[in-house]
Amino acid sequence: MPTETLQMPATSADRAAGAFRLDPITPTIGVEVSGIDLDRELDDPTVTALRRALVDHKVLVFRDQPVSAEAHVALACRFGELEVHPVFPHHPDHPELVLLGGNSDTPARENIFHSDVSWRETPSMASLLRCVECPAAGGDTIWVNMALAFENLPPDLKPKLAALQAVHDIMPAFGSRMTPDERDEVRRRYPPMTHPVVRTHPESGEQILYVNEGFTTHLANYAEAFEVRVGFDFKLAEMDLLGYLLRQAAIPEYQMRLQWRPDTLVIWDNRATQHYAVQDYFPAVRRMMRATVIGDRPR
C-alpha cells in the first residue's frame, strides 16, 4: 500500500510539523501518522492537514506520543469544542478528559460496537483516545468504516433506508451504573434522540450507516417506510431489519484492529466509524483517557 507524505511549511509556532507521513493500516480504514510531535503546539496548516486526513482515512494512529493531559486537551480543542461526559469519571484537573478502563476487580464494558454519544442531540465529531497503561497482550480496539458498510448494502435496500429514523438512548449502556435518582436526572437531561439511519457526512458528503449496538434501540418509523403485512411486522420485522443493519459493523473487510502501546494516541472520525474495545485481558488493567469533540446533528 502506498505511503502518503504531506509536506507542511515549518513555522515558529510548530517547528516539529515539517512533514508527516501517512502509512495505511488497511486498504479501507486507518493510517499511522509519523513525523509529528503532538506535545507541541500545532500550526493551523498542520491542523487543517490532519483534519483532511481524518476525513479521508477516518482513523489516525500516533505512536510514541507521551503527551500531558493538558496537551491532550489542547490538541482536541484544535478540532472543536469539547464535551463533558455525564457518566464516565473525569480527570481531576480536566473535566473534558474521561477516564476509561476497569480495574482488577471490575472489567470495562466498552466491548460492543458503538459510535460515541450517538444518544446526544449533537453527537461527537471526533474522539481522541490516549493509552496510559495497557497489558502486554490483549485489549485491542477495532474500528469500522461505516461509509463502506452503507456503500456495500444491497442496492434495492438503500433507497428504503433513506427515510428511516432510528432512536438512540443513553440508558441501555449507562442506566445500570446510576441510582434511580441519577437515572431520573439523566433521563431529563438526555431524552432519547432520533437520528437518520443513513446520515450524510458534513465534510465528505459520504452516506454513512448510522445505527449501533450500544445506543440504537429501535426504528422510529418502520411502518411508514415498509409495508406492514400482519401485526408482528410492527416490531419483529422492524427488529429483523435493525439487527441486519447492526451486523454490518462486524464484517472484517470494513475494519482495522489496533494493538495498543503506552503513549499511543488515536483520533477517529466518530461520524463515519464505529469501534469496539476488546475485553480479553481482564483481570489485567488497561487505562485510557479520551477527549471528545462536539459535532453536528446528523442529517
* Angstrom distance (rounded) from CA 129 to CA 68: 13
Instruction: Return the closest-CA partner of residue 222 out of 166, 298, 156, 168.
Output: 166
Catalytic residue among 57, 72, 130, 290: 290
Catalytic residue among 72, 94, 199, 275: 275
Residue type, position 83, single letter: E
Tell me the three state secondary structure of residue 75: helix
Residues contacting residue 52 through CB under 8 Å, at least 6 positions apart: none
C-alpha dihedral sign at 247, 251, 254, 260: positive
94 flagged as catalytic: no
Catalytic residue among 114, 120, 199, 201: 114
Tell me the three state secondary structure of residue 71: helix
Residue 273's Cα: distance from chain center in Å?
6
* Angstrom distance (rounded) from CA 117 to CA 202: 18
Largest CA distance in the chain: 69
Q: Where are the beta strands (DSSP E) in the chain?
A: 4-7, 19-24, 31-34, 59-62, 97-100, 124-133, 141-145, 165-168, 193-196, 198-200, 207-209, 216-219, 255-258, 265-269, 273-277, 287-294
Q: Helix, strand, coil % (nearest 5) of the chain?
A: 25, 25, 50
297 flagged as catalytic: no
* Angstrom distance (rounded) from CA 174 to CA 185: 13
116 flagged as catalytic: yes
Locate cell 439523566: which residue?
A: 186
57 flagged as catalytic: no
Cα distances (angstroms) measured from residue 271 to each of 156, 171, 211, 229 = 24, 21, 11, 34
Catalytic residue among 14, 116, 169, 269: 116
> What is the set of active-site residues?
114, 116, 275, 290
